[in-house]
Amino acid sequence: MTVIEEPRTTIRSGTIGDSPVRPDGVAKVQGTYAFSSDLHADGCLFGATLRSPHPHARIVAIDLSAAWKLNGVEAVITAEDVPGQLTYGLIAQDQPVFAVDVVRYVGEPIAAVAAIDPETARRALDAIEVTYEVLTPLLDPEAAIAGGHDPIHPDGNLIRHQHIVHGDPSATGAVVVEGTYEIGMQDQAFLGLEAAIAYPDPGADGVELHVATQWLHEDQKQIAACLGFADEKVRMVLGGVGGAFGAREDISLQVHTCLLALRLARPVRMAYSRAESFLGHVHRHPATIWMRHHADADGRLVNVEARFVFDGGAYASTSSAVLVNGITMAQGPYACPNGMVDGYAARTNHLPCGAMRGFGAVQACFAYESQMDKLAAACGVEPAEIRLRNAMKTGDTLFTGQPVLNVAPVEDCIRETMALPLPDEPVGGTPLSDGSQDAMKLPGGAGRTADAGDIVRGIGWGVSIKNLMYSENFDDYSTARCRLADGVATLKFATAEVGQGFITIAAQIARSILGVDEVELDQIDTHIGSAGSTSASRQTWMSGGAVDAACRAARERLFEAVGTAHGIEPIRLMIEGTDVIDTAGDLRIPVVEASSGLTIDETIEYHHPPTEDLDENGQGNCHTAFAFVAHRAVVDVDPELGLVKVVQIATAQDVGNALNPLSVVGQIEGGIAQGLGLAVMEEIIQIDGVIRNGNFTDYLLPTFLDMPPVLATLIEQPDPHAPLGAKGVGEPPCISSTPAVVAAIRDALRQAGIDAPLDRVPVRPADICL
């Protein structure tokens, strides 16, 4: 991969703007890093979960007797063994710990067992006899919205409806384009499977849970409620997290593990297999989105009408927030005076859906970017040009009435992407010395399905907007503590490090602010206030802001101490390199010396400014901040077989300030791989409510051979609203890379004389060639 960036020559090693080696990097590469699934305790028991085989059924009877009789089975529990609240959930507590009377999706937990080994636990599950009365599943979200179907849940079949009206929704333009788009269900497919170990307190009046999660304190609150404990009786420690992408926001095995451990007064370990993981966490919402764009003859947007339907599956999870993200991004990163959007999140008997990288913005972007290409074609202008003509600027207003006050370099993102070179190799790459072609460089790859003459190349664009942090009046604050003594800064926070690299930049921030080289990181647990979730591209801004503020507070104490010792006003002091210096005198003391014998300890909560709920017309300043990105995809297509190979992705991303450029590039490459996956291969297939490809043989993820070189330009315009000028960078890469790839496929097919709508992702071979 090529990164184009300004040289950074004047940065002190390990500080902001440098890309130091991540503390967990070597262990992960060498395979010695302990992920949650590696957790073990002497004498621990192994838990397992019995799950529903039906998408919708009444539980007539559960007979546990045969399971209890098995040698080595220590506990068998059901909903009757839940001492506290029977349900949990991030927004609405509508999801049962164990099914009560009815199951609503294939994979819903019904019972759990603990046994002396995993095989015995598995056999105990087989021995549980559940009698079901199978019910007709509700699988069509439109039917759920229409209201004709009996409620499949006491909360009803409509999770949320939200309407947005802005300006004059009846406005029309000279050019009108319309389309209906479909997005399939994507899986987060983190590599580190769900796993936890619970240690009960003596007397079983409390528990310590080590788990891979995205938000320790939210887990703590939900677990404690189900266990009937006060929050502080559930102590949470972050286990090694192997990726998250939203799939660890919801409770999965946390409550089950704690219940078994408390019941037995012994440590219990639970760990999902890949097949169980597909059932055990929420997925990206499948969505159907209708849009009609009105523009003037030059392609300037006049009005956007849209209708969104998200299939939330059986339980609410974060569906209502995903919905709002989607519909409030309906216009994309474009200025438009008028709009009317209707959005629905429906409850069905499909797998529950919730958070996944991009969180509603992904679905919206595939629709509005497909529309922008239609608009470009209708107006006879190039795809990049139509986007430049409409590019949002700072101060422009969303359909919610909210002004975009952040740096909004949409035009720069597009122009900088345009400036990146196109691939210089022809289709199939430069022929080898014997004149033959490297099959791996053609669509079909190792399968050798094509020769260069079978292939056409296309180019496509995608540009997107993403809100950062939580929305709708949610105070997702972060807490951090900084201790400074003898030249060593010790940081404490509950920020879930899920692989994104927060622990690396936390130390960089401390080095920059305090002038120290040595930074210790305390255990990530609930012995400090909440850090909010590692999601919504928010931790660099929020926990970064908290660490920054805690370090600044510690620095004030240091300056006060130095000032007192030397008779200098603290305000004259500053950090230069690793020294405290007097800006109005000659004093220069190394921080190591200046902090010797001191114990400075500062804890700060960082809050972003409050946001508002949306009113019934969808008006309100509901979002916290925004980031933007442009993608250009070059794709080779085999029109006859419908196979594709993405040749190159060029991108310019609005990052504010790259605190760690290598980490930013890592997010860009990884996000693009996930966006590419949604574009051409990643989809959970459910037939009649039953998952058919819950494994990595059939749920295909892009491999090294599917992932093209990425050319990336970082647009560094520090955002004055961000604590360090740095915007979150995690989600944008996966949002508009998807429509860019699909647009490139359409472009290639047009050159082959084929006009394929490709209004659904992932694009399947048959969508191209049949």
Do 350 and 139 contact (CB within 8 A), yes or no?
yes
State how beta strands 456-468 and 478-485 pair. unpaired
Nearer of residues 449 and 490 to another protein, judged by Cβ: 449
Binding mask 117-156 for another protein (x = CB under 8 A): -----x----------------------------------
Nearer of residues 382 and 451 to another protein, judged by Cβ: 451
Residue 273 engages another protein in binding (rule: CB under 8 A): yes
Window contacting another protein (CB under 8 A); options: 22-30, 160-168, 579-587, 635-643: 635-643
Do 663 and 724 contact (CB within 8 A), yes or no?
no
Please state, as a whole number, how many other Cβ atoms lie within 10 Å of the Cβ of residue 592.
16
State how beta strands 95-96 and 87-88 pair. antiparallel
Report, in Å, the least distance between residue 36 CB and another protein: 19
Q: Which member of 380, 523, 698, 720 binds another protein (CB under 8 A)?
A: 698
How many angstroms separate the CA atoms of 294 and 167, rounded?
14
Residue 681 engages another protein in binding (rule: CB under 8 A): yes
State how beta strands 760-761 and 338-346 pair. unpaired
The Cβ-side half-sphere exposure at 750, using a 13 Å CA radius, reads 15
Residue 191 engages another protein in binding (rule: CB under 8 A): no
Nearer of residues 237 and 763 to another protein, judged by Cβ: 763
Residue type, 111: A
Report, in Å, the least distance between residue 287 CB and another protein: 21
Residue type, 448: R
State how beta strands 175-183 and 760-761 pair. parallel
Residues 6+ apart with CB under 8 A from 748: 456, 457, 458, 635, 636, 637, 639
Report, in Å, the least distance between residue 242 CB and another protein: 18
3-state class percentages of the chain: helix first, strand second, coil last, to nearest 5: 30, 25, 45
Residues 6+ apart with CB under 8 A from 319: 91, 159, 160, 285, 310, 312, 345, 353, 354
Report, in Å, the least distance between residue 677 CB and another protein: 10
Residue 680 engages another protein in binding (rule: CB under 8 A): yes
Q: Which member of 71, 435, 697, 753 binds another protein (CB under 8 A)?
A: 697
Residue 70 engages another protein in binding (rule: CB under 8 A): no
Please give the full DSSP string across 586-640, using - where no structure is assigned: S-EEEHHHHTTT--EEEEEEE-PPP-----TTS-S---SEEEEEEEEEEEEEETT
Report, in Å, the least distance between residue 760 CB and another protein: 14
Binding mask 342-361 for another protein (x = CB under 8 A): --------------------
Report, in Å, the least distance between residue 273 CB and another protein: 7
Do 586 and 573 contact (CB within 8 A), yes or no?
no
Report, in Å, the least distance between residue 680 CB and another protein: 8
Nearer of residues 122 and 149 to another protein, judged by Cβ: 122
Window contacting another protein (CB under 8 A); options: 162-170, 227-235, 690-698, 717-725: 690-698
Nearer of residues 123 and 511 to another protein, judged by Cβ: 123
**301-311: strand order across its sheet:** 158-166, 338-346, 301-311, 287-295, 175-183, 760-761
Please state, as a whole number, how many other Cβ atoms lie within 10 Å of the Cβ of residue 243.
18
Nearer of residues 211 and 680 to another protein, judged by Cβ: 680
Residue 721 engages another protein in binding (rule: CB under 8 A): no
Residue 703 engages another protein in binding (rule: CB under 8 A): yes
The residues in 543-562 that bind another protein, with binding defined as CB under 8 A, are none
Binding mask 641-670 for another protein (x = CB under 8 A): xxx-x-------------------------
Residue 757 engages another protein in binding (rule: CB under 8 A): no
Buried residues in 613-649 as b, exposed as e (16+ CB within 10 A): ebeeebbbbbbbbbbbbbbbbbbbbbbebbbbbbbbb
Report, in Å, the least distance between residue 762 CB and another protein: 9
Report, in Å, the least distance between residue 519 CB and another protein: 38
CB burial class (10 A; 0-12, 13-18, 19+) of residue 247? buried
Longest dimension (CA), the chain: 84
Window contacting another protein (CB under 8 A); options: 238-246, 467-475, 625-633, 698-706: 698-706
How many angstroms separate the CA atoms of 403 and 161, rounded?
23
Nearer of residues 168 and 698 to another protein, judged by Cβ: 698
Q: Which two tokens stand for residue 608?
A: 């972003």
Nearer of residues 276 and 373 to another protein, judged by Cβ: 276
Q: Which member of 693, 709, 718, 752 binds another protein (CB under 8 A)?
A: 693
Nearer of residues 292 and 764 to another protein, judged by Cβ: 764
Residue 26 engages another protein in binding (rule: CB under 8 A): no
Window contacting another protein (CB under 8 A); options: 80-88, 174-182, 649-657, 700-708: 700-708
**Distance (Å) of CA 406 to CA 321, 467, 525, 607:** 21, 11, 33, 17
**Distance (Å) of CA 18 to CA 8, 11, 172, 499:** 8, 6, 50, 18
Report, in Å, the least distance between residue 692 CB and another protein: 4
Nearer of residues 122 and 292 to another protein, judged by Cβ: 122
Do 431 and 497 contact (CB within 8 A), yes or no?
no
Q: Is the peptide bond before 762 cis (omega within 30 degrees of 0)?
A: yes
Nearer of residues 274 and 527 to another protein, judged by Cβ: 274
The residues in 425-484 that bind another protein, with binding defined as CB under 8 A, are 440, 443-451, 453-454
Report, in Å, the least distance between residue 691 CB and another protein: 9
Report, in Å, the least distance between residue 694 CB and another protein: 9
β partners of residue 310: 287, 345
Report, in Å, the least distance between residue 267 CB and another protein: 25
Residue 187 engages another protein in binding (rule: CB under 8 A): no
Please give the full DSSP string across 522-578, using - where no structure is assigned: ---BSSS-----S-TT-HHHHHHHHHHHHHHHHHHHHHHHHHHHHT--GGGEEEETT
With contacts defined by CB under 8 A, how many residues of the chain interact with another protein?
39
Residue 760 engages another protein in binding (rule: CB under 8 A): no
Do 400 and 618 contact (CB within 8 A), yes or no?
yes
Window contacting another protein (CB under 8 A); options: 46-54, 136-144, 262-270, 684-692: 684-692
Nearer of residues 246 and 443 to another protein, judged by Cβ: 443
**Distance (Å) of CA 43 to CA 68, 194, 630:** 20, 21, 53
Q: Which member of 171, 377, 381, 769 binds another protein (CB under 8 A)?
A: 769
Report, in Å, the least distance between residue 452 CB and another protein: 11
Residue 695 engages another protein in binding (rule: CB under 8 A): yes
Nearer of residues 695 and 751 to another protein, judged by Cβ: 695
Query: Any idea what the Cα angle at residue 164 is, between residues 159 and 168, rounded to 5°?
Result: 160
Q: Which member of 40, 584, 692, 751 binds another protein (CB under 8 A)?
A: 692
How many angstroms separate the CA atoms of 373 and 352, rounded?
32
Do 364 and 329 contact (CB within 8 A), yes or no?
yes
Do 190 and 245 contact (CB within 8 A), yes or no?
yes
Binding mask 583-622 for another protein (x = CB under 8 A): ----------------------------------------
Do 293 and 176 contact (CB within 8 A), yes or no?
yes
Binding site for another protein (CB under 8 A): 122, 273, 275, 440, 443-451, 453-454, 640-643, 645, 680-681, 685, 687, 692-693, 695, 697-698, 700, 702-703, 705-706, 764-766, 769-770
